[in-house]
Amino acid sequence: MIVNQAEFPPLPSQMKRTRRLDSQSRPSAKKATSFATANDLPDELLLQILDYLPCHDLKNFNLPTIISLSLTSRRLHYIVEDKLYAAYNSFFATPYLFLRTCGNNRQISQRVKSLDFSYGLDVHADRKRFIPSVTDRRELKGALKALEIPGWKDWATDCNDEMVDMEILYAAILMFTPNVTSLYIDDGDLPYQTPKWLNVIHCAVSGIPFGHMHQFSYLKSIRVDIGALNLRSLWPLFRLPSLRALTMIGLLEPRIFPHYKLTPQTWRIAPGSCPIEELMLPDCFINTTNLVMLLDACRTLRIFQYEHRDERSLNRKEQYTAYPGSALGSTLGTTKLHYPTIASALERHCHSLENLQLYDDFEKIRPSYLSTGIVGNLQDFKKITYMKGSLGALADVNAPSRATLVENLPRALKSFHLVINWSPQEHHSVSALEHMASYCQTYVPLLEHIHIEAKAHASAFPFSWNKIRKKFYEMGVKMVLNQASNPYSDDDGAEYWLDREVWEVSDESESTSESDFYESDN
C-alpha cells in the first residue's frame, strides 16, 4: 500500500492493513542476509538520522519521505510515528484528513504537539479540495458524536461539506488534540467577529461544560498574526492557565475608535491573574490605556516587546476609512505611547523582567515628543540584560541641558539596541551617547554590545561616529552602527539607501579614518 501526501494521514484501518502486509512479507528470521540494512541500525541512530528530515519545514519538506519510512516496516513506523504526527501545518496537508484521523485515533491525536493554521482570502487556493467519501463522513461524524459537544450534528454537517470553510476544520482539530503545546494562527483578513478557533478556546476557559473536549492543559505558546481581531475578542487567551508565551502580530487598538476601548466588562481579566511570562507585540498599534491593561493582567513578565512601525498601519487604511471624519493622520497622532505611564505599569515586573523592547516608530508623523515623555529610571529592574528603545523614549530630548541616558539604564544590561529616529530633537541629543560611552563602566558595567540604528540617512544626519566607537572600544564594548548612506534614485525617481555598518576593529585603528569603519551590504 502507498500513501501519498494528498492522502495523509491515513485512517487507523489503513495502517492496520499496512502492518498485516508488513508481517506477511517480512523475511523469516532464519534467513540470513549478507548485507547490513537500515533495520540493523539501533533506534537511537535512526532517530538522529531522522532529525535531518523535518516533516513540516517550509525549506526542507520531507513529509512524503517520512510517510514512506512509516510504511516500510512495523519497527520504522513506531520510530517515526511521533515525528510524523507531532506537528500539523496547513501548508503541507489538507485539514480534513488530519481531523478525521485525530478524531478516530486517540493515540495519534495525543502525539500532536504543534499546530500551524493559515487562512484568509485565497490561502491554499492552489490546492485541490479533498472530497470526503461516505466512509470519511461516517468516521468524522462518529468522532464528533463521541465528543458530545453541543451542536455536534451541525459541526459534523459543516465539516463534511465539500465547500467547508478552513477555519471550521481548524477549530475541530483543536478539539481533538489535548496535548498541543504550541499554536500558530495566521488569521488573514476574514471579516469574522470572533473566529471559531477562538470560540473553542473560549469554551475551554469559560468553565461551562463543552462535551468531553479537553482544557488545553499543555498549551504553552501561542502566536497570532492578527487580521481583524481586537483585544475584546482575544481575552480568552489570557485565561489559559498553561500559557507562558503569547505573540500578537499587527494588533490594531487605536484610541480614537470607541469600540476598541477596554472596560472591565469587555476585558474580563483580573490584574495579575495571567501566567504569561513572554508578551510580544511586534508591528502593533495599541493605545497606552489598552497596553497598560495588558501589562497589568500578567503576573510576572520575563520578556516584553512592543514595537510599532508605520508601514503595517498605513497599509490598513480601510480600517480607518470605515469611520467618517477620522483622518488617518489624526488617528495616528492620537495613539502615541505615553512612556511614563508604560514605565509605571512595568514596575510590577521589575523583579522578573529580563528583556525589554519598547519602540514606537512615528517619527515621520508627529513633530515632537512633548506629549510622550520618557521611560525614566530603570535601575530598579535588576534582571534586564537586553533592551531596545529609541533615544527619544530613554533620554529627555526636550531638556535645555545635555540629555542624560546611561544613568537611567538597568545595571545588568549586556546588550543594548538604540534607535535614533528622524526627529531633530533626537539628532541634537546624540551627546548623551558620548556621555554613555565615557561612563558605561560606572552605570552599566556588564555591557558588552551596543547596536545603534540611525533611521535618517547620512546626508540628513551627519555625525562623526568614530569618536564614540573608540570610546566604547576603550570600555570593552562592541559597537555596531546601522545607518543609511546617501540616497540614490532609480529611473522612476524612487529613492533608495545603501545600509552601512560600523564594526569593532582591533586596537591598531587609532589613526584610521572614519570611512575605514564602514562596509556596504551591497
340 inside domain: no
- C-alpha span between 16 and 10 (Å, rounded): 10
53: containing domain: 1-23+40-85
User: Following DSSP, what letter does each residue of 297-363 receive, concatenated?
Assistant: HBS--SEEEEEE-HHHHHTTTHHHHTSTT--HHHHHHTT---HHHHHHHHGGGTTT--EEEEEE--T
Q: Which cell numbers hold the place of 68?
A: 514512506
pLDDT at 165 (0 to 100)? 87
- pLDDT by residue for the chain (522 residues), tens only, comes to 444 455 556 555 555 544 444 444 444 444 555 677 767 788 888 878 777 776 666 566 667 777 777 777 788 877 777 778 888 988 887 899 999 999 999 998 999 999 999 887 677 777 788 899 999 999 999 999 999 999 999 999 999 998 888 889 999 999 999 999 999 999 876 666 788 999 999 999 988 888 999 999 999 999 999 877 889 889 999 999 999 999 999 988 876 556 667 777 788 899 999 999 999 999 988 888 899 999 999 999 999 999 987 555 555 544 444 333 334 444 444 457 889 999 999 999 999 999 999 998 765 544 444 457 899 999 999 999 999 999 989 988 777 666 689 999 999 999 999 999 888 888 888 889 999 999 999 999 999 999 999 988 888 888 889 999 999 999 999 999 998 776 554 444 444 444 444 444 333 333 333 333 333 333
- Amino acid identity, residue 340? P
56 inside domain: yes
pLDDT at 330 (0 to 100)? 42
- C-alpha span between 455 and 392 (Å, rounded): 13
What's CA 246's distance to the chain center, in Å? Answer: 8
Closest CA to 88 of 52, 112, 53: 112
pLDDT at 333 (0 to 100)? 43
Closest CA to 216 of 224, 225, 206: 206
Give the SS3 label for residue 489.
strand
- C-alpha span between 174 and 90 (Å, rounded): 13
List of residues 6+ apart from 360 with CB closer than 8 A: 306, 307, 308, 336, 337, 372, 390, 393
48 inside domain: yes
497 inside domain: no
Query: Domain tally for the chain?
Result: 1
66 inside domain: yes
- C-alpha span between 328 and 309 (Å, rounded): 15
List of residues 6+ apart from 378 with CB closer than 8 A: 343, 356, 384, 387, 408, 409, 410
Q: Which cell numbers hold the place of 310?
A: 508605520
Q: Which cell numbers hold the place of 486?
A: 546617501
pLDDT at 470 (0 to 100)? 94
218 inside domain: no
Helices (H) and strands (E) in the chain, counts: 21, 18
pTM summary value: 0.82
Q: Is the dihedral of CA 422, 428, 434, 437 positive or negative?
A: negative
| Buried/exposed 452-467: b ≥16 CB within 10 Å, e otherwise | bbbbbbbeebebebbe
- C-alpha span between 363 and 427 (Å, rounded): 12
221 inside domain: no
76 inside domain: yes
- C-alpha span between 196 and 95 (Å, rounded): 15
pLDDT at 60 (0 to 100)? 63
